[in-house]
Chains A and B, each alone.
Chain A
Amino acid sequence: GQNIDQPTEMTATEGAIVQINCTYQTSGFNGLFWYQQHAGEAPTFLSYNVLDGLEEKGRFSSFLSRSKGYSYLLLKELQMKDSASYLCAVRDSGNTPLVFGKGTRLSVIA
């Protein structure tokens, strides 16, 4: 079976750094994706990891360890607009559909 786990909710302070973890157990692995979803809107793509290590894109970074089945999304210099749900998704092989975790709802407070 396939299983993707991430915390349900997190709260962090404006200007701080937050790390959202994701663990996965899938039959294969062909890439891990992070999406951001604001309330009432569609998910938008943030990052993609297929090799171990850190991918940095502005204030957002994503890390992958394939041997541990583990990824995290790091958000720096948090802003109020970063309040959203963050979805971790895995493609287990080839061209198969993404499998999504249930998402982590992040609240940024002043």
Chain B
Amino acid sequence: DVKVTQSSRYLVKRTGEKVFLECVQDMDHENMFWYRQDPGLGLRLIYFSYDVKMKEKGDIPEGYSVSREKKERFSLILESASTNQTSMYLCASRSSYNEQFFGPGTRLTVL
């Protein structure tokens, strides 16, 4: 059974903190993605990766970075969290031409 897991369902951090969001998939997929989802704005792509050690900027990469040291793990890093990064963060993975599978999401609140 397909599985994408994220390290936390809910997270509360303070402004200026460094935040790590972890995503792990067990399907040996090459491609992994990080989105944020906000009311009225839909799903917006932050970063994605086609393979280990590779990363590509999505539509809204500012204030974020990523790391992909192993094929199954894709981490999203908020270098210095700000209140406008309060959001639902969704990780997804897929093999080249098939549908994307999403993790359960992390609802991050930055105070």
Residues of B close to A48: CB separation below 8 A? 99
> CB < 8 Å: which of A45, A87, A97, A101 contacts B99?
A45
> CB < 8 Å: which of B41, B48, B50, B102 contacts A42?
B102
1/0 contact trace for A45-67 toward B, CB 8 Å? 10010000000000000000000
Residues of B close to A44: CB separation below 8 A? 102
Residues of A close to B33: CB separation below 8 A? 97
Q: How large is the interface on B (under 10, 10 to 19, 20 to 34, 35 or more residues)?
A: 20 to 34
Q: Which residues of B contact A (CB under 8 A)?
A: 31, 33, 35, 40-43, 45, 48, 50, 58, 90, 96-97, 99-105
Q: Are B41 and A102 touching (Cβ within 8 A)?
A: yes
Q: Are B42 and A103 touching (Cβ within 8 A)?
A: yes
Residues of B close to A102: CB separation below 8 A? 40-42
